[in-house]
Amino acid sequence: MDGHLADPIAGAHLDCMAHQLGRGVVLVRSNAKTRDDLGLASLPHSYSRGRHSIYALDRAGVGREAGLAFRQRRYLRLAGLTLVGISFTWWARIHLGRFWSNAITRKEGHRVIDTGPYGLVRHPIYTGLIAGMLATGVAVGTVTAMLGAVLISLGMWQKARMEEGFLTHELGANAYGSYCRRVPMLVPFLPPR
């Protein structure tokens, strides 16, 4: 019964993910100088397109009319939140470009990036990963999954704090401090600290 109903919802998830993956591959393999050369300026809009497709299917009653249980709809919403978190992380990683590094290091020409996802939060990669991690922990629904998600999220928050100190020191208290006063650290739309 659920097999054919999951197809449109899974299709919406897969469409959004494949769209973003394809754009990421084009970015990596091309010689384009900017994301605009590749048409990536619309990247955030395609994330919301996939999320809205899933939401529209749920609101239109796909599954509800055939008896899709509340719990299954909750899983779809949590999967959507996970997808949004991962997409936000991907957007931030692409936007950061050559300034991204797995380790906390200073890059040549390092400067404050305050556009794109970095205009919403100072650490959007961590924001997206934390959102996805917490949604997954809640979806699994076990104490160990939720505790693991919380502990990993706290670790990411701690690493973001370490980066804050490094960036303040390397980029200057005036430049990075001004950014910190304008943009929240991890949670969009909260007052910055």
pLDDT of residue 8: 47
Residues 153, 97 contacting (CB under 8 angstroms): no
Residues 21, 52 contacting (CB under 8 angstroms): no
3-state secondary structure of 175: helix
Binned at pLDDT 50, 70 and 90, residue 22 comes out as very low
pLDDT of residue 99: 87
DSSP 28-96: HHS--SSTGGGTGGGHHHHHHHHHHHHHHHHHTTTTTTTT--HHHHHHHHHHHHHHHHHHHHHHHHHHH
When the pLDDT of each residue in the chain is averaged and rounded to a whole number, the result is 76
Q: Which residues of 111-133 are buried (b: 16+ CB within 10 A; e: fewer)?
A: ebbeebbbebbbbbbbbbbbbbb
Mean local confidence (pLDDT), 67-96: 88
User: What is the CB neighbour count within 10 angstroms for residue 191?
Assistant: 6
| Lowest mean pLDDT across 103-107, 118-122, 183-187 | 103-107
Q: Which residues of 16-33 are buried (b: 16+ CB within 10 A; e: fewer)?
A: beebbeebbeebeeeeee
- Whether residue 46 has pLDDT greater than 90: no
pLDDT of residue 139: 92
68 or 186, higher pLDDT: 186
CA 106 vs CA 16, 172, 185: distances in Å: 34, 12, 19
User: pTM here?
Assistant: 0.65
Binned at pLDDT 50, 70 and 90, residue 102 comes out as confident
In this predicted model, what pLDDT tens digit does every residue of 121-180 receive, in sequence order? Answer: 999 999 999 999 999 999 999 999 999 999 999 999 999 999 999 999 999 999 999 999
Q: Which CATH class is domain 2-182?
A: mainly alpha
